[in-house]
Amino acid sequence: MKPRTRIILLSIISILIVVTIVLGVTYSFMKADIESSSVTEVSLKSCAKITLKDTDVSINLNNTYPMSKNKALQTTPYTFTVSSSCENYVGFNLYLATLNTNTLDASNIHYIITYNGSKDILAEGILSNATNAENEFSNEEKTQLNSGINGTYSSIYKLYNASIPLQGEKSYDLYLYVDGDVTDASTMNKSFNAGIAVKSYDREADPTLANYIINNVYTTDGENGLYYHDGVGSYTNADQEAGDNSYRYSGADPNNYVCFGSDAATCPNEYLYRIIGVFDENSDSEYNVKLIKADYTTSAMLGTDGRDYYGNYNNVTSNYKGNMNTSTIAAYRWNYDTSVSSYGSNNWTTSELNKINLNINYITYLSNLWSDMIEDSTWHLGGMTSSSNTAKSFYNGERNNAGYGSNPTTYGPENANGSSTKIGLMYPSDYGYAAYPDAWVTNLSSYSSTTIKGNNWLYMGLNEWTMTPYSSYSRNVFSLYSNGYLNNRNANNGYSVRPVFYLRSNISYVEGDGTKDLPFRVGV
């Protein structure tokens, strides 16, 4: 197939630099998919395909001059999209190949890469300092590259590495500029020619998200907000750990964000979750990551069917820490089973919040692609008689105490009568251990302290249900109060909800650092 290219001229009139960007594409083990006449076509050899396409917008440096980085980010970037039709994640490297006819040295060229439409920088630097990647191209690929850039390459620089989601795409902006501090004769009357190239590759087996957190994020207790709950430690209140060999995030705002439900370049807020911890619930060395929705749910997510839908949450106070339109936050009863009491029931197995809103509607909202990553889990329903207990006491009670009357102490695939058990709620112990360790000797009924709730990332400021029943009555359930402390309330109250679930143990870590802007990304 004959290659097709288009040359885009960039000129900086004041210093007489002419820069040409030729959109050239090379692939490795891929099948070309051509969506623009500016793309060079290359025949490839596997089931996957990646397309590099432009959007007919060139970098516009006409009538400009050497500039600062901030000024460069105000110019019109060159926008391109990398896409894939694969059934799994595909890795790719982004290169800039310079031509052997250049007279402007690469040490004078600065580059910036961002997601399309964003000013958050993914990669930047001086071109000459980027990795020399010539040895990553075979002779055949170099021939294809030369054809794509309409010349002969001089150097090949690797600028960026990322992955493409399942049958997805990512769009980027590329900025090239000459630094404003460079005003000497070395940049006068010079030319610079280069071409963009993308090479895809079969990703090596990614670590599981659980193993990534254990091996790459956890170092020592307290670093990165993680504590290993093995029951021992050298920090204050280490004797209050759960002792279950879990890795739990604690403190004011650890970097424990996960984007789940979306492959968008910038994760929408509604798909942001946070990691409660990494747990080996079955003591079989198969760790599962436990997620909680970062903000509250809406009726569009959980539905309005079932007796437990209450309506819009009508008591939003200044304590609320999220960024939702508060009029859309929905409230749900825990279980309005009036056959038990006019105030409801604390039997989770008959809760329609459980069976309908969480384990049918929310799973549908997530779609099969994402809900298939969630483990059908066994949930602990052990009760407590008072909120005046520490996190450790609640942890033990949730797993070892009886509920009220004949209520079961566990609910999972083995006793759910065919219902899904993927989605639950947080335990009081989850909330207790999310506070900084200084608070672990404090009863959860006293977690309203400004210091404690201010250093507890799970505190979000609204009345919210937990998973645990109050075992002295048939109708009461433990809930978080808007001021941050734990108490028990009638199950027919309308409170906010944040779904909680465990990812399957084989779910992989793909990318991200856990910050809100660059949350962990996961795959299969």
Domain boundaries, the chain: 7-201, 209-523
Give the pLDDT confidence score for residue 300 in this predicted structure.
97
The larger pLDDT score, comparing residue 441 to residue 109, is at 441
pLDDT in tens, 495-508: 999 999 999 999 99
A 10 A CB-CB count for 327 gives 10
Angle 140-142-145 from CA coordinates, rounded to 5°: 115
Using DSSP bridges, classify how beta strands 17-23 and 191-201 pair: parallel, antiparallel or unpaired: parallel
pLDDT in tens, 389-444: 999 999 999 999 998 998 999 999 999 999 999 999 999 999 999 999 999 999 99
Q: With contact defined as beta carbons under 8 Å apart, do 15 and 50 qualify? A: no
- Work out the burial of residue 123: count CB atoms within 10 Å of its CB; fewer than 13 is exposed, 13-18 middle, 19 or more buried: middle
pTM score of the predicted model: 0.69
A 10 A CB-CB count for 69 gives 14
Beta strands in 320-446 (DSSP E): 330-332, 379-380, 410-411
Query: Across-strand partners of 18?
Result: 11, 191
At 278, which amino acid appears?
V
User: Among all chains, which residue has been given the structure tokens 């210091």?
Assistant: 451
Q: With contact defined as beta carbons under 8 Å apart, do 219 and 121 qualify? A: no
Using DSSP bridges, classify how beta strands 486-490 and 476-480 pair: parallel, antiparallel or unpaired: antiparallel
Nearest to 384 by CA among 372, 375, 373, 396: 396
Question: Mean pLDDT over all residues of the chain?
Answer: 84
Give the pLDDT confidence score for residue 1 in this predicted structure.
27
362/366 Cα distance (integer angstroms): 6
- Residue 384, pLDDT above cutoff 80: yes
274/322 Cα distance (integer angstroms): 13
**Secondary structure (DSSP) of 349-365:** GG-HIIIIIIIIIIHHH
Q: With contact defined as beta carbons under 8 Å apart, do 383 and 408 qualify? A: no
How many residues would you count in the chain?
A: 524
The larger pLDDT score, comparing residue 167 to residue 159, is at 159
Show the tokens assigned to 492.
Answer: 């027919």
Q: With contact defined as beta carbons under 8 Å apart, do 197 and 148 qualify? A: yes
- Residue 328, pLDDT above cutoff 60: yes
Nearest to 133 by CA among 153, 154, 111, 156: 156
Give the pLDDT confidence score for residue 108 in this predicted structure.
83
- SS3 percent helix, strand, coil of the chain, rounded to 5, is 20, 30, 50
Q: 3-state secondary structure string, 222-273?
A: CHHHEEEECCCCCCCCHHHCCCCCEEEECECCCCCEEECCCCCCCCCHHHEE
- Residue 7, pLDDT above cutoff 70: no
Give the pLDDT confidence score for residue 10 in this predicted structure.
28
397/389 Cα distance (integer angstroms): 10
**R_g over Cα of the chain:** 28
Nearest to 496 by CA among 519, 479, 518, 472: 479
Show the tokens assigned to 173.
Answer: 């902006």
- Work out the burial of residue 171: count CB atoms within 10 Å of its CB; fewer than 13 is exposed, 13-18 middle, 19 or more buried: middle
Q: With contact defined as beta carbons under 8 Å apart, do 428 and 489 qualify? A: no
In this prediction, residue 192 has a pLDDT band, given cuts at 50, 70 and 90, of: confident
207/384 Cα distance (integer angstroms): 38
A 10 A CB-CB count for 345 gives 27
Give the pLDDT confidence score for residue 54 in this predicted structure.
52
492/488 Cα distance (integer angstroms): 12
pLDDT in tens, 35-82: 222 233 333 333 345 454 554 543 333 344 678 888 889 887 877 777
Show the tokens assigned to 491.
Answer: 């199950």
Q: With contact defined as beta carbons under 8 Å apart, do 206 and 192 qualify? A: no
In this prediction, residue 356 has a pLDDT band, given cuts at 50, 70 and 90, of: very high
Q: With contact defined as beta carbons under 8 Å apart, do 29 and 90 qualify? A: no
